[in-house]
Structure 1
Amino acid sequence: MGPYGDWLLEDTAAVCRDLDCGSAVYGEKRKDFPQSPVWWVSSDCVKKFAVRDCVYDSSSSSSSSSGLEVKCSDSVRLVSGPSLCSGSVQIWDQSWTWVCEGALDQQGAEVLCRELGCGAPSLLQGALSPLEQTFHCEGHESALMDCPRSGSETCSSGAAVNLTCSEPLRLVGGASRCAGTVEMRHRGEWRRMEPNRHWLLEDISASPVWGVLPYCVKKAAVRDCVDDYSSSFSSSSGLEVKCSDSVRLVSGPSLCSGSVQIWDQSWTWVCEGALDQQGAEVLCRELGCGAPSLLQGALSPLEQTFHCEGHESALMDCPRSGSETCSSGAAVNLTCSEPLRLVGGASRCAGTVEMRHRGEWRRMEPYGYNGPWVLEDTAAVLMFLLFFLRFSTPDG
C-alpha cells in the first residue's frame, strides 16, 4: 500500500481500526522497499471511510518503492477521546472490553500511556479508588497486560475509566520543568527535534534527531509531524523553548487572550474576583505579552486570591490568601496586548515599530519571501496596536 499525501498518526489509527487492533503507536512512509505494484491510498479519505474504500482508481498500474510501516497496540486502546492519547480504556480479551472505574491506578496508567507511545498520564478519571482494582502494575512493565491481574470484571462504556496521556515530549537542560531543549519520543527513542529554519535554533553537539515539519504542528500533534526521512538524521541544531510553567490562558482567540489557569499539581481555573489589575500586569508580563487591555470578572476585591504589587516576575510569586477553584464558566478572562509599540512618532499611532521578544524591545525589520512590505502588512500591525494597545502604557 502506498500512502498518498501527508500521512499522520490519525491515518494510521484508521488502519489499526480496520485491522481490529488497538491504538496507533506509530506509522511512517518508508522508501526502501523493492520496486513493485502498490495501491495508492488517500490519507484524507481514511479519516472517514474504510481503508479499502480509499484506493485511487488510477493506481492499478502503479509501481513504487514506498510503503507504509505501522505499529498498533495489540491489547489496549483509548476510544471516543479527543486525541490518540486520550479516551476511555479498552483491553483485548477475545473481544474489546471496557476497563472499569477503579481497575487502574497511577502506575497502571503510566504503563498504558508508555505502551501507546504517549507521554505520562496527565488526567486519570474514575481510577483513583483501589476498590476492585484489576491491574496491579509496578510501573516498569512494557504492556498493561503484562501486569498481574486479580479479576476480569467488565462494564458498560459509561462506567469505564477515562485516561489522558500527555504527548511524548519533554524539555531537558532548562531552569524549570517548562524550559529547555525539546525532545520527542518516537518509535521508542528519545531524540532532539530538528525544526525547520523558521523556528528558533540553537547549536548543540551533533547527534541523531527527529525532523519535524513546522507547517504540520499547526494542525496536528507534534508526534504526527515527523519527517519521513528523519530516521537517519544527525544534526547539531535543536529547538530551545520556554513555556510559562505555572500559568496559562486557554480557549482564547490568541496566545495573549483567554481564561486564566494556574498549575497547582494540576491545571485549575482562577475564579472571578481572584485577580486585580496589578496581578493581570504580572501575568501578561510573565507570558511575554504586553499590558492587560481587557480584564473580565476580576475587578471585585471580594475573595481576591492574588495580592500582587506589580513588580513580581511571575503570578505565583505574589502573596496568596486562598486556593479556591471554580468551573471554567466562573473563571476570569484576560486579554493582554500584543508585545508591540510605536516610538518616536508625532502621536501614539505613528512612529517606528518595536516588538518585545525574549524580554527585549527591538525594532522590527521587514523580511519575507513574498516581495516588499506592502500597506496590507502595515494594516495588520496597526490592527494589533489599535485594538490591543488602547489601554496600554508606552512601556507596557
Structure 2
Amino acid sequence: MNEAAVVCKEMNCGDPVKLSGSYGEGGKPTWYRVSCNGRESSLTQCSLAQYDRTSQDRTTEASVKCTGNVKLSGGLNRCIGRVEFFDKNQWGTICAESWDVNDANVACRQMDCGSTHMITTAAEYGHGTGPTWNTQIECSGTETSLSQCNQRPFGDRRCNSTSIAGVICTGGLEVRLAGGKDECAGRVEVRHGDVWQTVCDTDWTMSKAQVVCDQLECGKIVDAFGSAHFGQGVGSVVEASDSCFDNATSLQQCSRSGFREASCGHDHDAGALCAAQIRLVGGSSQCSGRVEVYYKGQWGTVCDDEWELANADVVCRQLGCGHAITAPKGAHFGRGTGPIWLDNVECVGVEAALTHCTHPGFGANNCGHGEDAGAICLGSLQKPQITLSPAPEVNWGDRVEITCTVVTEQLGGTFTLKRSQDAFKMEKYSENEVATFIFPTVDFTQTGSFFCEYQKKLPNQVIFYPQGNIADLSIAVKLEKPSLSLTSPHAMVIYSPEKISVTQGNSFSITCSIHSTYPRGSFYLTDSTLNTSKAMPAFGHSIFYLAYFEFPEIDYKNQGEYSCVYKVNISSRSFSSEPSRSLQVTVIATSSQVALGVVVGGVVVLLLVLVIGYLVWRKRRWGAGSLVQFSNRFGGAIKRDTEDMSNRAPDARDQDSQVTDQAHSRGLEDPNAADDTPVEGVPEDLPGRVCYELEPLFLS
C-alpha cells in the first residue's frame, strides 16, 4: 500500500483506492521489486531491486487506482463534504471566494458522484489539516477534472480562512431521479449504502413524489409516474412505504437502515416529474419581467441564447399567466444577480415547466447577466382603468369627460369606450397610456355602464388587453330650492318672511324665483292650508327665473301658508324642486270697520253702565224703611229714625206723628195735666193700623 501511495502521489493523483486489477500486459518490461515507506515523493526514492521472472513464475504486474487529485472529506459519504485538492504532494482545501456551481459540477463528475446538488462556502464540513490553496479555480462546467480548469492566484491578497469550498453531489443523497432530462425528472432510485434501488409504483402517490422533489430541491411535483415511464432500472426493487416516504427525515432513516424489498419487477418502477420554481422579476406585475429559476436553494437567471417565444410561453403557462406576448432579450428588465442556471433552452411550447425543456443542465452556460432573458405574459396585461369627470352623477347638459388609462410595457395602441347596455362604441388611438372621450352636453341618452378596452397591433398579431372595470354614469336634473318674496302695495319687497298680515281688500303679490340652468319651467304657488296651488310660467334669462302671483283684493279666503315649487319638463320627463320656505299670510279688517266697531262697543258699554246704576238705585230705595214712634199708655215712646225722615216731605202720616209728639211733650212738662186737661183717646189698634197703612216696618 505504501508503494501505491507513492505512485499516486508522484502522479499527483491523490490517494490509492484499489491495488489490484488488470490493465493489460506491459510488453517485455524489466521487473523490479519495490519497497517504500510511504513518505517518499517518487518511486525512485524507494528501495528498488531487479527481479528476474521465470516462465513458471505467476507473479503479476502491479497496478493501482488513485482517487485523483480531488476528494470530498468530512461528509456522510464520499460524495458529500469539503473539497480537497491534491497538489505539491499534499492535500489542501479550496478557497470558496470564487467557488460556484460550475466548479462543483466538475468536482462531482470527476468523482463519479453525479452532479451538484448544493454548494457550501462556510466550512460546513470542517477546515481539514492541510493548507488552503490561495488559488482561484474557474471552470466552465464542461471539464472532466478540476486540473483542466483555469487556475490563477489571488495575488497579494490571501483567502479568508473561514471560506472553505464544499459540495453535496447528487450521488451522496438518499434519493435521485434517473433517466430524465435532468436531475429533477426521472425514475425514482433510493440509496442504501453504496447500492441504488428502484421503487415499486404500488402505493406510489403525488405526496410521496413531493417528498422526493423536496429532498432534491427541485420545486413542486408535476406528476407521479408508474409503469417504468422513464425506463426500467437495475438491481433490487423496494416498497414505497409510508414509513419511508412520509418526509425527508423518514427517507434519510430508511436510507441508513434499509428499505423493505418489494415483490414487483422493474416494469413497475416509479417515476417523478418535478419543476423548479420560477418567477418574473422587474416587470409591472408578477406576469412580466426577468425570468429567474430557484434551484438548489438559490435564485438564478436564464441566458437568452436560443430564447424564443415558445420558451416564454412555457414560462407564462407555468406561472398561470396565460400565453406569452413577447420574449425580451438582453436584460430588458435589468441585470439579475446570482448564478445563471439555464442556457440554450429550447422548448416546443407544450412542456409543463421551463426546466423540462431541452437544456445542457443547470449551471452550464457561457453568458453574463447582460444576456438575461425575460417574458411578458398575457396575464400581465393590466385592465384599462376608467374615470368619470366631474363625477359619476352629473346634471343634464353638463360637460362630461371619460378617461381610459392603461399600464403597459409598450406604448401606442387603440382605446375603445363601450357601454354594456347597447352597441355604443367610441375609438381613439393614443401614443401614450391615456385617452379621453368628451361629451360636451350630456342628456339622458348618455346614461349607462361604460368600460374601456385596449388593444395593440404587433407585426404578426393583435394583443387584446382584458376588459376594464365598469363605471356607471347617471344623469339627473337637480333643481335648487326656490325663493319666496312678498311685494307690498307700496312696492316694498320683503324677502323670505315667515309671516305677514295684510288688510282685507288690499292688493299685493308673491314672487317666486330660482337660480336654474333649466328654462321654460313653471312656478306653483301652493297653499298647504287649503291644499290648493296656482301655476304661473317662469320668465327670465340665463340662470335666473321668476314668476309673480298677484292678489288684487285679498280676502279672508286667501289666508294660508304659501310656498313655491319650480317644475320643468326635460326630454318628456317632469322634474320638481323642493318647496321653498313657507310664508304665513293673515288677512285683517279695514280701518272704517274698526271705527264702527269702536262706536258700537262704546254704546254697549254705556247702556250697561245705566242698567247697573238703575239697579243699584232701586235696591237702595226699597231697602230704606221708616220707623214711627208711638206713645203707649205707660208714657213710653218708640224713637223714630229722624235721619231718614228729615230728608222726606211731610205727609198726613207725618202730621199725625207731630200731633202725638206735641201731646207727649206737654205731658212731660206737666205731670198733673192728665187729670186736669182732657186728652183725646188713642185707639187700641193704632199701631196695627199704622203698620198696615204704612210701608212694612224695617229696623235699620
Q: TM-score range by the shorter chain?
A: 0.3 to 0.5
Q: TM-score, with normalisation over the residues of structure 2?
A: 0.28
More RCO (CA 8 Å, sep 6+): 1
State which structure, 1 or 2, has the greater radius of gyration over its C-alpha atoms.
Answer: 2
